[in-house]
Amino acid sequence: MSAVKVGLLGLGTVGAGVVNLLARNHDEIARRAGREIQILHAAARHPDRPRDCSTEHIRLTADPFEVVDNPELEVIVELIGGEEPARELLLRAIDNGKHVVTANKALIAKHGNEIFEHARAKGVTVAFEAAVAGGIPIIKAIREGLAGNRIQSLAGIINGTSNFILTEMFYQQREFADVLAEAQRLGYAEADPTFDIEGVDAAHKLTILASIAFGIPLQFDKVYVEGISQITTDDVAYAQELGYRIKLLGIAHHRGAGAGISLRVHPALVPERRVLANVDGVMNAVMVTGDPVGATLYYGPGAGAGPTASAVVADLVDVARENNMDPEHRVPYLAFQSHDLSDEPVVGVENVETRYYLRMDAQDAPGVLADVARILGDASISIEAILQKQPAPGVDHVPVIILTHRVLEGRMNDAIERIEALETIHGRVTRIRVEHLD
Amino acid sequence: MSAVKVGLLGLGTVGAGVVNLLARNHDEIARRAGREIQILHAAARHPDRPRDCSTEHIRLTADPFEVVDNPELEVIVELIGGEEPARELLLRAIDNGKHVVTANKALIAKHGNEIFEHARAKGVTVAFEAAVAGGIPIIKAIREGLAGNRIQSLAGIINGTSNFILTEMFYQQREFADVLAEAQRLGYAEADPTFDIEGVDAAHKLTILASIAFGIPLQFDKVYVEGISQITTDDVAYAQELGYRIKLLGIAHHRGAGAGISLRVHPALVPERRVLANVDGVMNAVMVTGDPVGATLYYGPGAGAGPTASAVVADLVDVARENNMDPEHRVPYLAFQSHDLSDEPVVGVENVETRYYLRMDAQDAPGVLADVARILGDASISIEAILQKQPAPGVDHVPVIILTHRVLEGRMNDAIERIEALETIHGRVTRIRVEHLD
């Protein structure tokens, strides 16, 4: 069979990783795909700059539009990231009748519906395995491997930077800011780490996973997002004392037909025996629960040139195979046939029921605990455990930690407001959700 | 698109699971596949017996050959298990030009090369996701999701029964025979549990995984197989003391071009922090390490009607899609193009290098440990740790546990023979491999 002719947008770390991978594993890949995959044309901001890959047989340009307009190319790989001009470039590639492979999670999460509509009209494939969880073939697992299931929920550690920070806070008892600075030095975190530590990056990925799991349109703006910047080393230690680890989770839960879907990214206490609790460092993992399969889990490196290139090349092999298939037989972009997406509503987080970890700074005096317990009792919130620590010498207030049973978020928020109004409670109540993942 | 017409061989637990799944998740599946999947004809040994599924729209027969010869059917699902007549039936279905889906690991491991040759000649698909690790889409992950990688190794817990037994031995300190009897009562283990506890079932699955990972023909007879029936509760406890869990692993390792591939199933000590060490009960997990992806892991239920049906239906959806694709574009049976399989040799276990756990019963006298250490030293085997337990009251011998560094299996065996010849060592030396999975 003839070679697949590919154009590449972006020749940074990941782009060079893809070029190197196609060269280094050339024989393995051709033995699988049955044909060659050739990058013929690539756009880089500074085409003359020295690179981490050989560009000997690649035509280089500073103009990415030159690549997407090159009639010789069948597939465009987009690795420049961000929303624009990535969106414009992909739409133009699609309108030119080219298949597209992208690692761009923000683009798919926010503009995927538009991109897929164009692609459908043109009968081309849009593949985005690299957009979620790096080297883990999670898109393929959900879209194809679990195609017989009604997916009920998924929960994942899908941001490596925040997981690295929480892991260091756990094992080394280091403070958040200190670890973040190290993550930036190591290159795990960007100079502006907001997307990572405030949960936005995880929300992009969760948006994509939820769509292919439940057959709903991409709805990034409906995801509840809370990051890890408020988590303290004390919280991590108290959680451990109670048998939990704190993780930043992306959770999508289908509550049953008509009952809505919840989409949320937030830190959570996870029982220490669960596999997800033991996913450390920059690794990612996604647990997918479906009927009839039950709980399955997918684990691996969530970022980096190698894992991302692995996902991009797997997509290229798929595209090479599907190239001559009539579009209606291909795996649908969002796993479900486009005309058959569901309008199941996404429910607000105030309607979600979970357990809670509460930490408050209480005056070391008789009756304080009783006041707090009464507020929770009045709101019908059951207490599972209370920890009251010894006061530090010369300090007249103590940390009180409470684990609750399941309660609606809205009700919990009201109770917290009342607790914070107590004169014997200093400052804000820290509230972290507890997810048993059962 | 028109419905896919399917014939089913076997209407036991898994067969009924597939029928029920196609009914229960009918809409979900059709929304994904874009077409119906209809079981029209099924063979069961006793067609009139009451079943756990509705067979209202299915023609039933006691003669499976009637199903494979039915010209109306496009796909045959084989769920009767065993080598014959499953082999004969599949070959006949293939020769009749039908695609085939099977959950039969023994059949694929031992007769897959022959079956694939027939299928290739006829241009039909043979799908076997359900043959390995139940509901985990591990075949798809390796064959397609990691298509860009040079797979270096895989290590898996791929037999639920033996993992259930080892888990109970660990958490409940129960003896092997006692837990096995319970597993048989619970239906996890067959009346003849040999295939499960002696590693044969895991070896079938490892054979398949190794082929699709490395692009080699199926070579079941080259797998080194050792079961768990010799593992004692003491071994489990000593392993724990040293920071390890004992697991039955299937390991396939590519030692590099020309250096051969090792294929082995045996119990192993796994460091307790590794995810694989924490896979409990009847769950399965497979770790796959490749360049450039690094280590990835796939976890889920490895058996049972629901998980197996999940895998069978995913295969049916794939077959429905590939049906109108020309065969050379399909994913190859063993991941690599048939004319491009590698003849990389499988090396004997005596050439494999690992760490070892040794347990021996030593006379409680000065100099005994020195004798053992000298034998190991003479064989250039480095000791990582020694545990010498207190003798029980009135007993004059003590358990001695030794962890070694890496050594060739052949050299270890020679040293063990010399240790067993010492007058101060009673009986045989227990030897369990230690796998750090790094």
Residue A322, pLDDT above cutoff 90 = no
Please report which confidence band the pLDDT of residue A396 belongs to, taking 50, 70 and 90 as the band edges. Answer: confident
Q: Decide if B297 and A298 are in contact by the 8 Å CB cutoff.
A: yes
Residue of chain B minimizing CA distance to A339: B31
* For range A184-212, the mean pLDDT: 92
Residue A346 placed within a domain: no
The reply to whether A266 and A375 lie within a common domain is no
**pLDDT value of position A188:** 77
Within this chain, do residues A89 and A170 fall inside the same structural domain, yes or no?
A: no
Q: CA triplet A220, A305, A278: central angle to 5 degrees?
A: 70
Q: Which of A28, A293, A318 sits opposite B135 (nearest CB)?
A: A293
Confidence tier at A5 by pLDDT (50, 70, 90): very high
Residues of B in contact with A13 (CB under 8 A): none
Q: In this structure, are A132 and A163 located in the same domain? A: no
**CB distance B67 to B7 below 8 Å:** yes
The structure tokens 């590639």 sit at A93
Taking an 8 Å cut-off on Cβ atoms, the answer to whether B329 and A326 are in contact is no
| Contacts of residue B391, Cβ cutoff 8 Å, sequence gap at least 6 | B364, B397, B398
The residue of chain B nearest to residue A295, with distances taken between CA atoms, is: B300
Regions of chain B with pLDDT less than 50: none
| Domain co-membership, B150 together with B276 | yes
Domain assignment of residue B347, yes or no: no
Asked if B126 and B216 sit in the same domain, the reply is no
- Which run of H or E residues covers position B292? none
Provide the CATH number for the domain around residue A97: 3.40.50.720
B231 close to A (CB below 8 A): no
Q: Is B301 in CB contact (< 8 Å) with chain A?
A: yes
Q: Is B302 on the interface with A (CB under 8 A)?
A: no
Same domain, B186 and B272: yes
Confirm or reject contact between A302 and chain B (CB < 8 A): no
A21/B292 touch (CB, cutoff 8 Å), yes or no: yes
- Stretch 408-437 of chain A: residues touching chain B, C-beta under 8 Å: none
Query: Above 80 in pLDDT, residue A189?
Result: no
Task: Give the bridge partners for A59, in sequence order.
Answer: A41
- Which residue in chain B has the smallest CA separation from A133? B296
Q: Which of residues 275-294 of A touch B (CB under 8 A)?
A: 275, 278-279, 290-294
Active site amino acids of A: 205
Contact of B189 with B183, CB cutoff 8 Å: yes
Contact A31 B318 (CB under 8 A): no
The minimal CB distance from B318 to the residues A144, A298, A307 is found for A144
DSSP A346: B
Q: What is the CATH number of the domain that holds A423?
A: 3.30.70.260
**CA-CA distance, B22 to B35, in Å (whole number)?**
12
Determine contact: B297 vs chain A, CB below 8 A: yes
Phi, psi dihedral angles at B256 (to 5 degrees)? 110, 155
pLDDT value, residue A325: 82
B316 neighbourhood in chain A, CB within 8 Å: 148
Q: Do B294 and A305 touch (CB under 8 A)?
A: no
* SS3 assignment, position B423: coil
CA–CA gap between residue B253 and residue B256 (Å, rounded): 9
Q: What is the mean pLDDT of residues A125-130?
A: 97
Average pLDDT over residues A133-160: 97
Write the CATH number for B248: 3.30.360.10
Residue A98 inside a domain? The answer is: yes
The answer to whether the Cβ–Cβ distance between B292 and A306 falls below 8 Å is: yes
Task: Nearest by CB to A292, from B275, B306, B324: name it.
Answer: B306
DSSP, res A320: H
For residue B346, give the DSSP letter: B
Output A393-398 pairs: Cβ under 8 A, ≥24 positions apart: A395/A364, A396/A363, A396/A364, A397/A361, A397/A362, A397/A363, A397/A364, A397/A426, A398/A361, A398/A362, A398/A364
Contact between chains at B148 and A337 (C-beta distance less than 8 A) = no
Please indicate, yes or no, whether residues A257 and A333 belong to a single structural domain of this protein: no
Q: Is A241 among the domain residues?
A: yes
Same domain, A106 and A207: no
Q: Which of residues 170-199 of A touch B (CB under 8 A)?
A: none
Task: State how far residue A430 is from chain B, nearest Cα, in angstroms.
Answer: 30
A307 part of contact set with chain B, CB < 8 Å:
yes
pLDDT tens for residues A227-258? 999 999 999 999 999 999 999 999 999 999 99
- Whole-angstrom distance, CA of residue A217 vs CA of residue A212: 9
Give domain status of residue A347, yes or no: no
Mutate: best of A24, A26, A144, partner B, most B CBs <10 A: A144
CA–CA separation, B288 vs B294, rounded Å?
A: 8
Nearest by CB to residue B146, choosing from A148, A275, A310, is A310
Mean pLDDT of A129-141: 97
pLDDT at B21: 97
Residue A345, in any domain of the structure: no
The residues of B annotated as belonging to the active site are 205
Cβ-Cβ contacts under 8 Å, A296 against chain B: 135-137, 298-301
> Could you give the CA distance from residue B185 to residue B181 in angstroms, rounded to a whole number?
6
CA distance B143 to chain A (A): 8
Q: What percent of chain A has pLDDT over 70?
A: 100
Please report the residues numbered 207 through 226 in chain A whose beta carbons come closer than 8 angstroms to any beta carbon of chain B.
215
Contacts of A312 in chain B (CB under 8 A): 148
Whether the Cβ atoms of residue A262 and residue A349 lie closer than 8 Å to each other? yes
Q: What is the pLDDT, as a whole number, of residue A317?
A: 96
Tell me: do B39 and B174 sit in the same domain: no
Average pLDDT, chain A: 95
Q: Which residue in the set B143, B313, B335 is minimally distant from A148, CB to CB?
A: B313
A13 touches B: beta carbon within 8 Å: no
User: What percentage of chain B reaches a pLDDT higher than 90?
Assistant: 87
For residue A369, what are the domain limits?
A: 352-434
The pLDDT of residue B395 is 86
For B47-58, give the DSSP string. TTS--SS--TTS
Q: Domain check: are A129 and A151 in the same one?
A: no
Dihedral sign computed on CA atoms, order A260, A266, A268, A270: positive
CA-to-CA distance for A108 and A131, rounded, in angstroms? Answer: 8
Closest chain A residue by Cα to residue B339: A31
* Chain B residues within an 8 Å CB radius of A344: none
pLDDT at position A399: 93
Does B346 map to a domain? no
| Total domains, chain A | 3
- ipTM score of the complex? 0.95
Instruction: Say yes or no: A272 contacts chain B, CB-CB below 8 A.
Output: no
* pLDDT band with cut points at 50, 70 and 90 for residue A390: confident
Identify the domain boundary among A270, A301, A332: A301
First-last CA distance in chain A: 48
Residue B424: half-sphere exposure toward Cβ, Cα within 13 Å: 14
Q: Is A337 on the interface with B (CB under 8 A)?
A: yes
- Contact residues for B94 (Cβ-Cβ < 8 A; gap 6+): B100, B115, B118, B119, B122, B124, B126
CA distance A314 to A4: 13
Helix/strand number for chain B, H first, E second: 14, 17
Task: Enter the tokens of residue B77.
Answer: 């699902």
Residues A172 and A235 occupy one common structural domain: yes
In a domain, A72, yes or no: yes
Distance from the A216 Cα atom to the nearest Cα atom in chain B, whole angstroms: 11
Q: Which residue of A has its CA nearest to B139?
A: A145
The neighbour count for residue A97, using CB atoms within 10 Å, is 11
Report the chain A residue with the minimal C-alpha distance to residue B289: A300
Q: Do B324 and A326 touch (CB under 8 A)?
A: yes
Q: Report phi then psi at B300, rounded to 5.
A: 170, -175
Contact criterion met (CB below 8 Å) for A264 and A242? no
The closest of B111, B273, B176, B27 to A170, measured between CA atoms, is B273
Are B148 and A25 within 8 A, CB to CB?
Answer: yes
Using an 8 Å CB-CB cutoff, list chain B residues near A307: 292-294
B18 and B130 in a single domain? The answer is: yes
